[in-house]
Amino acid sequence: MDPRLHALLVRQNGLVTRQDVLRVAPAWTIQTAWRAGRLVPVLPGVYVDPALIRDRDADLAILARVEPALARRAALAYAGGRAALSRLTALDVWGLRRQPPGEPVHLDLPNGSGLRTKPHLVVRHRSDFAIAPPQVVTRAGVPVTRLDRTLVDCWPLLEPVDRPGSLIRAVNDRLTTPQRLFAAVAEVPRMNDRVTLRRLLDRLAAGCRSPLEIWGHDHVFIGPGMPTFTRQARVRVGGRTIYLDMFAEAERVDIELDGATSHGDPAEREIDLRRDALLATIGILVVRFTHRRLTADPVQVRRETLAILAARSCFL
């Protein structure tokens, strides 16, 4: 291999573009290296070191046979600074869902870019799209679409059972807010299952922070006699800040919804007992319902909740 091309490959971690090479060496060095098996084209004008081809399955697109991070670098190099990682690829970069090997790289570009979808690369052109804030941010060193729009764009691409998880986690981790997500939905006039997405955002805006809380909101803690609970109420006690799942302020009752995997660890159970005792020092009664009871016997859970609230009202 031409020493100038070799040095460029090393310097750029195994990936070069035709434009990169032409700055340091003549065009024939690319053809010579390719014919000698020292350079592999993964996209038009984009080449990688063959040592980085991890999968030897010739039935796969060459872009699918390199590590995901390298495939994304190659896609961005192909776009020449005119694109951002988007949809399922951006969701992976945001750390909210890992892309499995078979999923392609997604890029968003402004209209008129001239680039097209290739094997293992999905290109989407958008009007009024710019590779700049607020539409695009840099994360992990690469340009990605902003998180709220990424989450909304991914909604119809995911299996229904997988759709809520990323949105709930993003809100819980304070990466975005229900209000920003509502605004992003308004940017997309046509979307499959839009009604379900808006219903989920309604629940998140109401303070629900887990699928179990959403279940409780919709099937248990509603209707005649139920107070308007404050969800994720913030309480300071003993120098600590504690967040309450569902707080009936007038009755001083905190309803905690324990997930299907909660309290398998005795240490976690001990933490909860200490937390509940601390809340009792300021007159807050903690009532816990398990995932099994909430989903298998919601009517009885509702009756017990109403009875507890009524009893507390008599004493306060």
Convert the pLDDT of each residue in 228-260 to its tens digit: 999 999 999 989 999 999 999 999 999 999 875
Residue 112: what are its φ and ψ, rounded to 5°? 85, 10
**Sign of the CA dihedral with 64 first, then 69, 70, and 74 last:** positive
Q: What is the pLDDT of residues 103-122, one digit of tens each?
A: 999 999 999 888 999 999 99
Q: Is the pLDDT of residue 263 over 60?
A: no
Given this model, what pLDDT does residue 264 score?
A: 58
- Give the tokens for residue 257: 């919804």
Given this model, what pLDDT does residue 57 score?
A: 86
Angular region, 85: left φ>0, alpha ψ -120 to 50, beta rest? beta
Given this model, what pLDDT does residue 112 score?
A: 87
Given this model, what pLDDT does residue 297 score?
A: 93
Given this model, what pLDDT does residue 267 score?
A: 85
Given this model, what pLDDT does residue 260 score?
A: 58
Nearest partner of 68 among 59, 55, 79, judged by Cα: 55
Q: In the β-sheet with 15-17, what is the strand arrangement from edge to edge?
A: 15-17, 46-48, 40-43
Q: Is the pLDDT of residue 303 over 60?
A: yes
What domains lie within the chain, and their CATH numbers? 3-52 (no CATH), 68-205 (no CATH), 211-315 (3.40.960.10)
* pLDDT above 70 as % of the chain: 98
> pTM of the full predicted structure?
0.86
Rounded average pLDDT over 118-142: 95
Q: Is the pLDDT of residue 20 over 90?
A: yes
Rounded average pLDDT over 200-208: 94
Sequence-ordered list of residues with C-beta below 8 angstroms from that of 26, at least 6 positions apart, any chain: none
Q: What is the pLDDT of residues 63-115, one digit of tens each?
A: 999 999 999 999 999 999 999 999 999 999 999 999 998 899 999 999 988 89
Sequence-ordered list of residues with C-beta below 8 angstroms from that of 240, at least 6 positions apart, any chain: 278
Q: Residues of 194-213 as b/e, b for ≥16 C-beta within 10 angstroms? A: eeebeebbebbeebbbbbbb
Give the residues across from 254 on adjacent strands.
247, 286
Q: In the β-sheet with 285-290, what is the strand arrangement from edge to edge?
A: 230-237, 240-248, 253-258, 285-290
* Residue the block writes with tokens 């990605």: 144
Average pLDDT, the chain: 93
Rounded average pLDDT over 42-49: 96
Rounded average pLDDT over 212-221: 91
Q: Residues of 64-103 as b/e, b for ≥16 C-beta within 10 angstroms? A: bbbebebbbbbbbbbbeeebbbbbbbbbbbbebbebeeeb
Given this model, what pLDDT does residue 261 score?
A: 56
